[in-house]
Every structure is written in structure tokens, then in C-alpha cells.
Amino acid sequence: MPERKGHIIFIDMEPNSGLVSALAKTRTEVIAEVRNSGLRGRGGAGFPTGVKWNLAAAAESDRKFVVCNADEGEPGTFKDRVLLSEYTDDLLEGMTIAGYAIGADTGILYLRGEYEYLRKHIESVIDRRHTEGFLGKDIGGKQGFDFDIHIRMGSGAYVCGEETALIESLEGQRGEPRNRPPFPVDTGYMGRPTIVNNVETLVTAARILAKGADWFKTFGMDRSKGSKLYSVSGDCARPGVYEFPIGITIAGLLGEIGGEDAKAVAVGGASGRVIPAKDFASTVAFVDAPTGGSVIVFGHDRDMLDVAENFLEFFVDESCGQCTPCREGNPKLLNAVLLLKDGDCSIGYLREIESLAETMQLASKCGLGQSSPNAFLSIIQEFTHEIFGRTPML
Ligand SMILES: Cc1cc2nc3c(=O)[nH]c(=O)nc-3n(C[C@H](O)[C@H](O)[C@H](O)COP(=O)(O)O)c2cc1C
Ligand code: SF4
């Protein structure tokens, strides 16, 4: 594929050029390159990757682990699947670079249960990389750098994509989020320092080592560097997986995908705010409209209360039930949406539920309950005209 303007991921690269460049550097220099690039994690939270790697590198332990989060459970997200199937070498290269940087000897690829069909393919690439000397002992001729990668399957729970629940699941426990601190960079898999990174983050890190932090920084905007993959679905002419420089406006993105007539867009999937047309000048970036990459487009025929109902049903099903705000709150939010649809929700009750939603954002233990009210609140606040138009408030 020819290099395209604004593309970091979807370009042809010399195989293993990132790893070869990394192995010519010290571990500290590799981490410095990633830090200088300004790369932020592509799994949703946007944590600076170089900082995470540095913390794990600095932790003292007999063993350390690199975990690739390939659970990809956010509704409307499917960009990691493309990387897992078509950029497999680049991902394994990124994991190996991360292993070298933090001093780990083992990488674990936690693969979404529904992606079982990709397992054979990934294993065959792992085997080939062994024969090529890019996995196993003394990788790339670097004496003493031994690293191997294993695949572990997820079992279909969305919450297992949360990094501490993922680690619990890897250890054979029920997949429930842990209290933090301690953070996985100190106490992760098997109690050892562990970095958990998204698939796209690791592929991007390999690109940065190949082409340099300065090259990477020419893409994107001030506090959000580089490009990003987007899984685009819903009411648009050209759904699919796209790569855009970070900082593209929502209007610009909709123009590219044939969604100019949209009434609203969920830029962070079911966990993000639903953005109405009046705000389409916002940029899609960590500082403005953050996203893990799921872009769901809603046309004018969509009923926004149907959207809220659909998202909340998902969260009610997927809540692990460990903490009260999320376990009890999501069903109450869902019930309020049903009342609104029936025209049976008083303004007073709606205000109480909004306040409950805000409490959930603050008091839930993990990102699931902290973010599940986002879509509900934005729909109630931004589409009041639509909701009030149909609901006789008592
Ligand atoms: C409920 C929930 C589900 C998540 N699912 C995923 C996922 O499928 N893939 C992912 O990379 N991150 C997911 N995350 C974010 C991870 O906890 C973590 O922040 C991420 O893997 C870190 O990688 P990064 O720094 O490369 O972004 C999820 C978080 C929550 C709260
Ligand atoms: S917020 Fe929800 S998913 Fe997260 S720990 Fe609490 S109950 Fe479990």
C-alpha cells in the first residue's frame, strides 16, 4: 500500500524495521523515543504510553509482562480486528519492542473470544517469527534479549477489556476490576509489573521506532499526536475502518464517510457522549471529543431514546455487579428511558435520575460504570426538544 498523507498505520513498512531500530538503542532510549513522540494509548483512556512503559521499566521484579489488550468489546468497535488479521507482524513487533523496553520476557495476547477464528493465523505468524529469529532467544542477535508471545482467549465479557479485570481473567479468576492502586505497572499479572496496551497502541509504537518520534509528531495536534483508527458504523454511505490524523473535526470525518446528513454521532461508542449536529465542528481528539475509535452515526430517522435504551441494555447486561452505583444505577437509567418513551416520566424524576447518573460517573469503581451514563446524559441534555416533543411531562 503506498504511503498516504496522514497515515501512520495503513502504510507499507520495511518488516521489523522498528524492532531493529529499537535493538540498536538502549532500553532507556527506546522509552525516551516513545515518550517524545507524545503517543497516548489508543484503548480509550489516552494514557501516555512512554510514561506507562517507564513506570514498568523502573519497577523491580524477577519477571515482567507485556499484555496486548485485544478484547475489543466496545459496541461499534472493530478496528483492532483489522490489525490482528492484516497487520499481525506489526503488532507482534510492537509487543516485542515493548518487552525489550521494560525488560519483560513474556507477552500475552488477550484475544476477544469471538475472534477465535483468528487464533490459528496469529499462531502461525508467531511460529514464523520464531524461525526468523524475531521471537525466542537472543532476538535479532541481541544477546540476552529473550521474549516469547502466547495467546489467551477472552470469554465474551465486556468488562474483561478493563485492564485489571483482564489480568484477573488471565489469572483464572472471575473477570472483575481490581482496586487501584496498586497499578498493573507495579503489581499486574501474577503480582509482577505488567503493561497492558491496546492493539493499535502497540502497532503505532513499532511505527514510531521505525520512523522516529519527530516524524510521528508531524501528524495530529498539540496535545494529541499522530493518527487514529476509527471503526465507523451506522447511518452513513461508507462504513468501515478509517485512519485519520488526530484532530479531524466531526464534520470532516462525516464528509469522508458519507455521513453529512447525520443528526448525531457517538464518537466514543456506547461509552461516550452523543454529539448533536450543532457541535460537529468539535475535533475528535483526547482533549475535545475523546474516543477509543468507535464512531456510530445516527441519521434523522433515529429515535434518540431508542439509542439510549439500546446502550443501557448493554451496560445492564455487562455490569459485573461488584459495586452499587453501576449495578443499581444502570437499570434505573434504563427504566427512566422506558418511562420517557411511554410519556410517563415527570420532570422531577428525570432530574433525580440525572443526578444519579452524575453520581455513577463519580462513584463507580471502574470505567464501565463511570462512562455508561455519558450517552444517557448527553441524549437527555442535547435532544430535549425531541424528548419533550413526545413526552407529556407530569
Ligand atoms: C469496561 C471497559 C472495557 C475496556 N475494553 C477495552 C478493550 O476492549 N480494548 C482496550 O484496548 N482497552 C479497553 N479498555 C481500556 C483498558 O482498561 C486500558 O485502559 C487499555 O487497554 C490500556 O491500553 P492503552 O494505554 O494502549 O490504551 C476498557 C476499559 C473499560 C473500563
Ligand atoms: S463499575 Fe460496574 S463493571 Fe465496574 S466494578 Fe463496578 S459494577 Fe463492575
pLDDT in tens, 280-304: 998 876 555 556 789 999 999 999 9
Yes or no: say if 268 and 294 are a contact pair by the CB < 8 Å rule.
yes
Yes or no: say if 245 and 219 are a contact pair by the CB < 8 Å rule.
yes
70 lines ligand 2 (CB under 6 A): no
Q: What is the mean pLDDT of the chain?
A: 93
Q: Dig out the grid coordinates for 288 from the structure.
A: 475535545
What is the average per-residue pLDDT within 107-135? 98
Q: How far apart are CA 186 and CA 165, in angstroms?
A: 16
* Percent of all residues in the chain with a pLDDT value above 90, rounded to a whole number: 84
List % helix, strand, coil for the chain (3-state, nearest 5).
50, 15, 35
pLDDT digits (tens, 9 = 90+) for 299-349: 999 999 999 999 999 999 999 999 999 999 999 999 999 999 998 899 999
364 lines ligand 2 (CB under 6 A): yes
| Whole-number pLDDT of residue 237 | 98
For residue 392, pLDDT over 60 is answered with no
Q: Which residues pair with 66 in a beta bridge?
A: 107, 195
Whole-angstrom CA distances from 277 to 155, 248, 287 are 37, 15, 19
Q: How many CB atoms lie within 10 A of CB 298?
A: 23
326 lines ligand 2 (CB under 6 A): yes
In 3D space, the residue among 30, 105, 22 whose CA is nearest the CA of residue 66 turns out to be: 105
| Whole-number pLDDT of residue 268 | 86
| Whole-number pLDDT of residue 13 | 87
pLDDT digits (tens, 9 = 90+) for 37-81: 999 999 988 899 999 999 999 999 999 999 999 999 989 999 999
| Whole-number pLDDT of residue 262 | 97
What is the average per-residue pLDDT within 364-385? 95
In eight-state DSSP terms, residue 298 is: E
162 lines ligand 1 (CB under 6 A): yes
Q: How far apart are CA 55 and CA 186, in angstroms?
A: 8
Instruction: Give the ligand 1 atom nearest the CA of 52.
Output: 25
Give the residue carrying C-alpha cell 487501584. 180
Exposed, middle or buried by CB within 10 Å (0-12, 13-18, 19+), for 150?
exposed
Distance from residue 364's CA to the centre of ligand 2 (Å): 6
Distance from residue 76's CA to the centre of ligand 1 (Å): 15
Yes or no: say if 365 and 260 are a contact pair by the CB < 8 Å rule.
no
| Whole-number pLDDT of residue 387 | 85
Whether cis (ω within 30° of 0) applies to the bond prior to 184 is no
What is the average per-residue pLDDT within 250-263? 95
Distance from residue 197's CA to the centre of ligand 2 (Å): 21
| Whole-number pLDDT of residue 1 | 46
Q: How many CB atoms lie within 10 A of CB 380?
A: 23
330 lines ligand 2 (CB under 6 A): no
* Percent of all residues in the chain with a pLDDT value above 70, rounded to a whole number: 95
Task: Tell me the pLDDT band of 386, cut-offs 50, 70 and 90.
Answer: confident
Task: Tell me the pLDDT band of 3, cut-offs 50, 70 and 90.
Answer: low
